[in-house]
Chains A and B, each alone.
Chain A
Amino acid sequence: MLKKIIVLVLLVSLVPVALTFAGGEKEAAAKESSNLMVIVTPDKDNTFFTAEADAAKAKAESLGYETLLAVHGDDPMQESDIIDTAISSNAVAIIIDIANADASPNNLKRATDAGIPVFCMDREINVTGIAKAQLISNNFQGARLGAEYFVELMGEKGNFVELVGKESDTNAGVRSQGFHSIIDQYPDMKMVARETANWSQTEAYSDIESILQANPGINGIICGNDTMALGAQAAIEAAGREDIIVMGFDGNDNVLQSMLQGKIDGTVMQPNALNAEMAVELADTYIKTGSTGMDEEKILNDCFLITPANADQWKGYKKIK
């Protein structure tokens, strides 16, 4: 029995040392061998997110990093799995457009606890101190900018429909609140329908198709993103109602084209390529110096209003003129 206890004590005192030593070696080896930036975005079918992923990837590769692209589909569980993969791959940094403002911080904290710095782009988390930097698209400012233009085009009056994005996505709510913080100040603007079209072009099409049958007296449609605006525009064209004002959000190239053809009336350009590139640059600075060199964790980048007059100045979410 005594012998057993001695062995136990010895083991207890030795094993953590051995573990720590092994851990240290592993960490050092990982730092030498891994050069991997894991880039996480919500969706691989939406050009907004593919442009974001492409911008981050191109910047990371130009700085000499290997990249791994992953999508979480706005699902915190999938995001969690991706974080695990990043940890097991000894990534040097994670560049992420998060799944959900409430659920994602816990996922991200696991990465930072494992020693992997996290840099957020586009969407923000409410908690500070987890991400090394957050490059945020000011969706609320963008929504207000778009709503002001929408109200102006409507002559401050008329019946309108709002198409809302996927409820689980924080930005769907943020944009909707942004729209209303402006439009609701105009008592002659009447919202006749508000539908969730889940960011989807086909859902937007069928929503507007049926709304138009029930409410032919519609003057405008304000959409939480550009894919829904494209669906709405197709539906009003099919109904022969090209007098209806359509406002999008994102700065999708197809919407810019539609605007140049005199169809969709306006959109809001998100600085998402800029956010992605800045996130990677700050990650690179952090990896090399141990600091991002910025005063603040959250850097809010404003959106730009796009009208038919400046729609030709942008391509791939970047200013080209």
Chain B
Amino acid sequence: MRRRIVQPRLFFLILLIAGLSCGSCTIKKLNELDQDKETDEYSTWTKSGKEFNPVEYVNSIWDEKVIPIFMEESVEIHAVLEVLLQDKEKALQEYGLTRPSGEKIPAFKVKGMAEVLKYDDSSRNGLLVLDLQPTDGQEDVLLQIGPVIRQTAIRDSLDFIRFTDVGNQLQFASLADQLNLRMRKESVEPLDLENISGKNICFYGAIKLEEDQEVQTLKDYVVTPVKIEMIEAEESEND
């Protein structure tokens, strides 16, 4: 009986009210979810749908964050390699990057002084072959200076950079590329590569290993530099 009294318009009204009340439940739920989310200064990139600009971003962090973090946190490469070449797991625990969750990432910030034995440009992935101080004529470390820089070690060594913050994998990769480009501009382009053999350098850099990667040869732990500085020989300082 009742149903006959109800006009189509009324049904519409009822549905509308029912819909609104359901809608309000959902909104509350999403708000709660948003509140649960950790907010940080870069989270607006994805939430607002604003396009991420890797160049601007790298410009904003290079001098203020990237360089200071490497200067402060890098460990003598001798110490890292000594453990790493014996026991990768132990090196991970001692020197690996630690996530807030406690998870260890096989990314290492390293520093060292070395003599450049040669600049190997047989590949576009050009390498400085280094003999670490104190020198013994042995090849100890490869420092990749490009023009092609492989992989994403600088990005992966910086804990404040999170994948979630940059939206998607392409942006995450372009961020790594920009870090590599900035490094080349600041640290590699000023070098006189033709005359670098026999010179001494001081470097800060990153090593990133794959999960199941073995660490045996020099090629397995190529260092991506962040900062390279020439060390003037003592004689020239006296001149």
Contacts and interface: CB of A to CB of B under 8 A. Distances in A.
Interface in A1-52: 4, 7-8, 11-12, 15-16, 19-20, 23
Interface stretch (B57-65, B80-88, B129-137, B161-169): B161-169
A302 B176 CA distance: 15
A128 B14 CA distance: 33
B163 A298 contact: yes
A182 B123 CA distance: 13
Contact of A141 (B2, B168, B173): B173
B2 A300 contact: no
B39 to A, nearest CB: 12
Interface string A119-150: 00000101111000000101111001000100
B36 to A, nearest CB: 8
**Most chain A beta-carbon contacts within 10 A, residue among B26, B99, B123, B164:** B164
A296 B164 CA distance: 7
Contacts of B47: 128-129
A295 B164 CA distance: 10
Interface of B: 2, 5-6, 10, 13-14, 17-18, 21-22, 26, 30, 33-34, 37-38, 46-47, 49, 99-101, 123-124, 147-148, 150-152, 162-164, 167-170, 172-173, 177, 210-212
21 contacts: A11-B6, A12-B14, A16-B14, A16-B18, A20-B21, A124-B168, A127-B49, A128-B46, A129-B37, A138-B169, A139-B169, A141-B169, A148-B150, A174-B169, A174-B170, A181-B177, A185-B147, A296-B162, A297-B164, A300-B163, A304-B212
B173 A298 contact: no
Contacts of B18: 15-16, 19-20
B46 A126 contact: yes
A129 B6 contact: no
Contacts of A15: 14, 17-18
Contacts of B6: 11
Nearest to B100: A295
Given A156-B124, A185-B124, A129 B30 contact: yes
A319 B168 CA distance: 27
A128 B34 CA distance: 10
Contacts of B34: 129
B123 A302 contact: no
B17 A12 contact: yes
A177 B148 contact: no
A220 interface: no
What 10 pairs between A and B have smallest CB-CB spacing?
A140-B169, A296-B164, A185-B148, A140-B173, A15-B14, A19-B18, A300-B163, A298-B164, A16-B18, A16-B17
Contact of A156 (B2, B37, B123, B168): B123
Given A140-B170, A144-B173, A295-B100, A12 B164 contact: no
Interface in A166-201: 174, 177-178, 181-182, 185-186
Given A141-B173, A185-B147, A186-B148, A8 B10 contact: yes
Given A16-B14, A129-B30, A297-B164, A124 B210 contact: no
Interface in A275-315: 295-298, 300, 302, 304
A98 to B, nearest CB: 13
Contacts of A295: 38, 99-101
A126 B170 CA distance: 11
B150 A113 contact: no
B210 A304 contact: yes
A304 B177 CA distance: 20
Contacts of A144: 151, 173
Contacts of A174: 169-170
Given A124-B169, A128-B47, A295-B100, A12 B13 contact: yes
Contacts of A304: 210-212
A124 B171 CA distance: 13
A15 to B, nearest CB: 5
A300 B123 CA distance: 30
B150 A181 contact: no
A317 B121 CA distance: 37
A15 B16 CA distance: 11
B14 A11 contact: yes
Contacts of B99: 295
A302 B151 CA distance: 12
Contacts of A186: 124, 148
A16 B13 contact: no
A245 to B, nearest CB: 17
Nearest to B20: A16
A128 B210 CA distance: 27
B21 A113 contact: no
B21 to A, nearest CB: 6
A182 B146 CA distance: 12
A270 to B, nearest CB: 13
Contact of B173 (A4, A7, A127, A178): A178
Contacts of A129: 30, 33-34, 37, 47
